[in-house]
Amino acid sequence: MRVIIVELTPSRSIGLGPSLVDQDVASVKGMDAAIEMLRTSEPEVIVLDVGTESGPHLVPTPAEAYQRLADAACSARIIVVGAGDELLVQEMLRQGAFDFLTFPDELDALAYAVRRATRVAQLERRTTSTGGRRRLAEVVPGLMSGDPTMRRVARRCERLVGHPTRVLLQGEPGTGRKTLARMLSQTRRGHASQAAAASGGLGSDILGGGLGLLPPILSCSASTRISDINDLFDKVRSTTPVMSGPSTLGPLVILDSIDELSPDTQAALLRRLVEAETIWRDRTALPRTISVATENLGSRIAEGFFRRDLYDRLAEVHLCLPSLRNRSDDCVELADWFLQKFQQSLGRHRLRLSDEAIDAIRDHDWPGNVAELSNAVKQAVITAEGPSIRASDLGLTSSNTTRLVSLRQAREDAERDVVQRALKRVNGNIARASEMLGISRPTLYDLLNKLGMR
């Protein structure tokens, strides 16, 4: 559904419908129902009906409702409709609303506003698909992206904050797994994890972003034993202060590279989790876990190297983070962002990325993801001799040359393979091979010369 109408307070709603919007729409009553719908749909336009009355007595306020919708559907245009004075209109527009139509005077302009918002959304999507730039945003504190997939992952992560759910984060190193893990360690009110504060320095602060320290983390490997995990569990439980109030989530640990555990340790960890749920009948007897896995987890499960039943216990919610090379134009926008950041911190000014550097950034695979990109840009800011940063300043080769060489090599390899098979089938007879390949004998001789096969 491209357009969704959200009635903030159904009892005071204006009663908007398809006839006023001039579009095929879906309507939902109340914010909870709206957020639930946005978990499974991505509308281009949201019409927020704040009702026929305005004032500070409304709960939630129009501003609070707008912010929840904007967080849940960051790419949608939100049009606010309802009663409101000039201060409310200015506040909503300042927050980022696409438009505010006051009731009842401007209601007849709603259809036009929706068409205009839809058109803008379509143009932006078309620009993105043809290589245009998208808006880079901080999808969670410490994690910048304009990629729709990364934004969806961030929205799901935000909904999990404050829930005692076991979460598994999967992705390549440098994609932001630990940044999301740190976010998940927060309480719903945004306080830092008390477990991290009492962990005796087991956590580590990464990438900034204002989310406090990571909870205690265990880097798993094939040599990790169940005693190592038990020791961490026991230490966290003994050092975590008793929490009061609504944020009683209990202690939390992060198990990094969980897919590297040996079969014996996997079996022992599974038994410990099952015992807590079935024998003790208290899953809170163990610390809550956030597991971090590499991009190879699925293949390791399929090949029998990682237990499916353990995965089912650890991954009550499974979030997959896309690699930087699969995040459209994020690499270029992040490079620009890092360029501005490092220019300020390193005292360089007026540097820019050359077209050659931008092409090289787009074509590089970035196996180290954002961390590798950050290091490359920092290196360029330090070593660049002129105002224009070249591919070589980033430690990359010129992408145009690389692409042409790779394409030529691929074509030659394919031609060589086809010619070899044809010659083998006819026992080296040039006339029959040329007939089979659909080319003349002189053309085949030229091809053999070019491929170095004569």
Q: pLDDT per residue over 76-117, tens digit each?
A: 889 999 887 778 887 787 777 888 888 888 888 888 888 888
Strand ranges of the sheet holding 3-7, from the earlier edge strand across to the other edge: 25-29, 3-7, 45-51, 77-82, 99-102
pLDDT at residue 85, as a whole number: 75
Domain 139-322 is found in CATH 3.40.50.300: yes
Q: Which two tokens stand for residue 390?
A: 């070249």
CATH number corresponding to 3-129: 3.40.50.2300
Range from 282-296, 361-375, 393-407 that averages highest in pLDDT: 361-375
Domain ranges of the chain: 3-129, 139-322, 325-394, 399-450
At 381, is the pLDDT very low, low, confident or very high (cuts 50, 70, 90)? very high
Question: What's the per-residue H, E or C state across the chain?
Answer: CCEEEEECCHHHCCCCCHHHHCCCEEEEECHHHHHHHHCCCCCCEEEEEEECCCCCCCCCCHHHHHHHHHHHCCCCEEEEEECCCHHHHHHHHHHCCCEEEECCCCHHHHHHHHHHHHHHHHHHHHHHHCCCCCCCEEEECCEEECCHHHHHHHHHHHHHCCCCCCEEEECCCCCCHHHHHHHHCCCCCCCCCHHHHCCCCCCCCCCCCCCCCCCCEEECCCCCCHHHHHHHHHHHHHHCCCCCCCCCCCCEEEEECHHHCCHHHHHHHHHHHHHHHHHCCCHHHCCEEEEEECCCHHHHHHCCCCCHHHHHHHCCEEEECCCHHHCCCHHHHHHHHHHHHHHHHHCCCCCEECHHHHHHHHHCCCCCHHHHHHHHHHHHHHHCCCCEECCHHHCCCCHHHHHHHHHHHHHHHHHHHHHHHHHHHCCCCHHHHHHHHCCCHHHHHHHHHHCCCC
CA 256 – CA 204 distance, rounded (Å): 13
* 317 within 8 A of 158, measured Cβ to Cβ: no
At 201, is the pLDDT very low, low, confident or very high (cuts 50, 70, 90)? very low
Question: Which residue has tokens 């105002």?
Answer: 387
CB crowding 232-257: b at 16 or more within 10 Å, else e: bbebbbebbeeeeeebebbbbbbbbb
Distances in Å between the alpha carbon of 284 and those of 2, 216, 273, 309, 335?
Answer: 42, 17, 10, 20, 43
* 236 within 8 A of 278, measured Cβ to Cβ: no
Give the distance from CA 349 to its chain's centroid.
31
CA 438 – CA 47 distance, rounded (Å): 62
Let me know if the fold of 139-322 is the same as that of 399-450: no
CA 269 – CA 259 distance, rounded (Å): 12
- Going by C-alpha positions, the residue among 162, 180, 160 that lies closest to residue 320 is 180
CA 370 – CA 322 distance, rounded (Å): 11
* 315 within 8 A of 168, measured Cβ to Cβ: yes
pLDDT surpassing 60 at residue 270: yes
Q: What is the pTM of this model?
A: 0.56
**Count of beta carbons in the 10 Å neighbourhood of residue 185:** 25
CATH T-level assignment (fold) for domain 399-450: Arc Repressor Mutant, subunit A (1.10.10)
The answer for residues whose C-beta is within 8 angstroms of residue 233's C-beta and 6 or more apart is 253, 286, 287
Q: What is the mean pLDDT of residues 150-156?
A: 85
Is-cis flag, bond preceding 216, omega within 30? no
Question: Of 267 and 214, which is predicted with more confidence?
Answer: 267
pLDDT at residue 27, as a whole number: 87
Q: What is the mean pLDDT of residues 31-58?
A: 81
pLDDT at residue 309, as a whole number: 93
Least confident of 168-172, 189-193, 329-333: 189-193
CATH class of 325-394: mainly alpha
* 162 within 8 A of 247, measured Cβ to Cβ: yes
CA 427 – CA 248 distance, rounded (Å): 78
* 195 within 8 A of 251, measured Cβ to Cβ: yes
Q: pLDDT per residue over 166-185, tens digit each?
A: 999 999 998 999 889 888 88
